[in-house]
Amino acid sequence: MNDKIYVDTTYKSLNKYTEELCGDRVEIVKNDDCCILVLSDGLGSGVKANILSTLTSKIISTMIIEGSSIEDVVDTVIHTLPVCNVRNVAYSTFSILRIGYDKEVYLVEFDSPGCIFSRNGHLIDIDYNIKEIGGKIIKESRFKVDTGDMLTIMSDGVIYAGIGAMLNLGWTWEKASSFITKQTENPALTSARLTNLVTEKCKELYLGKPGDDTTVATVKIIPRKTVNIFTGPPQNQKDDKTIVHDFLSKDGFKIVSGGISSNIFSRVTGEEIKTTIEYSDPNVPPIAYIKGADLVTEGVITLQKTVDILKAYFKNPTKKKNISALDEKHGAAQIAKVIAEECTHINLFVGRRINPAHQNPNMPTALNIRTRVIDDLCKILQKAGKVVNIKYY
């Protein structure tokens, strides 16, 4: 994988009003060379549309990642989709984005709203080639992106948002692209925040009752940044030096979480721990300082609070309360902020020795097992598209 860039991807869907299943589907697949994002919109809505879009996105993402040509992909999709008994057609639109870590992009669209390519608040034109495959008109393009660029693909529920209600002709591609491009003037804008801003705008235009399945998928090209977290003492004390040396050998932001972990780090490196008694939140222990670590915090209580903050943030990254939680000064907020908005890769160095304090029956259940908190953290990070590596000692 290229060490210079990372493809940050997020998506969000609004179900058609009264429908339990979404007729749109997004598949994201990554390997050492590229990231592939497929958005499919099945014919109609509900269960049938969900089946069509799921099959389409799965087939396309699998075949593209394996190197199949677009001709083979389209032919397979055409001959695989079940035929709708009502309309007597098998139909699912799709958009495909293949972003290489060499910054080369391959874009394919079939009967879907065009991709919006934004760079520093400017809309970048995309040159398409038109070809016919199996009776289907396909648009494709190849172009290069750079750090900070954002690409947005969507289902037609976005461009039709508000039609017949707040807007006569719906939101339209032009208005949607203008809105999206305006947001990208902010260099700190994340893909998650842009995705949520667009879906919230669509919800507003639909007056809270979407007339169609509405999906937005956003890609941002960002520099690769790694965060390393050392937490928990190794089962064997002989491995204290090993875990610290492994932790220090990795480039990137370094976090030591836990009192015993801090003492091990201090002893191995010979650096003094400087503690503080400043509580910005009475429920989160204060941070400390050790030369060689960028952030030093208490352990399980702080990590559990971090998990809580991240769960809320990734659920709605534009909600004022969730954004404010990242800007707090306590250790959990500081960990959450660097993970949520600054890093792409996380290395976890986790000791498995049981802390007797975590087995106290009078302590909260969440503190009984450190690994439970670590598992929750990993699931949240992976779902958010972060690359997570974990090593136990």
pLDDT tens per residue, range 194-241: 998 999 999 999 999 999 999 999 999 999 899 999 999 999 999 999
Contacts of 233 (CB under 8 A, 6+ apart): 240, 258, 260, 261, 264, 351, 353, 355
219 shares a domain with 231: no
Rounded distance between C-alpha atoms, residue 87 and residue 211, angstroms: 20
User: Looking at residue 118, what is its pLDDT?
Assistant: 97
80 shares a domain with 120: yes
User: Looking at residue 40, what is its pLDDT?
Assistant: 96
CB 157 within 8 A of CB 213: yes
Domain count, the chain: 2
243 shares a domain with 189: no
Closest CA to 202 of 241, 176, 181: 176
Of the residues 223, 240, 261, the one at which a domain ends: 223
Distances (CA, A) of 67 to 61, 63, 131, 142: 10, 6, 19, 16
- Tokens 């139909």 identify what position? 91
Beta bridge partners of 118: 123, 150
Size of the chain in residues: 393
User: Looking at residue 355, what is its pLDDT?
Assistant: 64
Mean pLDDT by 10 residues, the chain (393 residues): 74 92 93 92 88 92 92 88 65 92 94 95 96 90 96 96 75 96 93 91 93 94 94 93 96 95 96 86 91 94 95 84 90 95 92 68 54 92 88 94
114 shares a domain with 49: yes
136 shares a domain with 116: yes
Q: Report, in this order, helix, strand and coil percent for the chain, each rounded to 5.
A: 35, 30, 35
277 shares a domain with 136: no
Of the residues 208, 223, 238, the one at which a domain ends: 223
Rounded distance between C-alpha atoms, residue 198 and residue 16, angstroms: 16
Which ranges of 66-216 does DSSP label H, i.e. alpha helix?
70-80, 156-159, 173-183, 191-205
Alpha carbon 364 to its chain centroid, in Å, reads 31
- Tokens 């169609």 identify what position? 212
Output DSSP code: residue 218: E
Of the residues 223, 249, 270, the one at which a domain ends: 223
376 shares a domain with 316: yes
330 shares a domain with 316: yes
| First-residue to last-residue Cα distance in the chain | 26
User: Looking at residue 163, what is its pLDDT?
Assistant: 83
376 shares a domain with 271: yes
265 shares a domain with 176: no
194 shares a domain with 146: yes
Rg (C-alpha) for the chain, rounded Å, is: 24
Can you give the residue range of the structural domain that contains 342?
Answer: 226-392
User: Looking at residue 85, what is its pLDDT?
Assistant: 63
Rounded distance between C-alpha atoms, residue 292 and residue 216, angstroms: 41
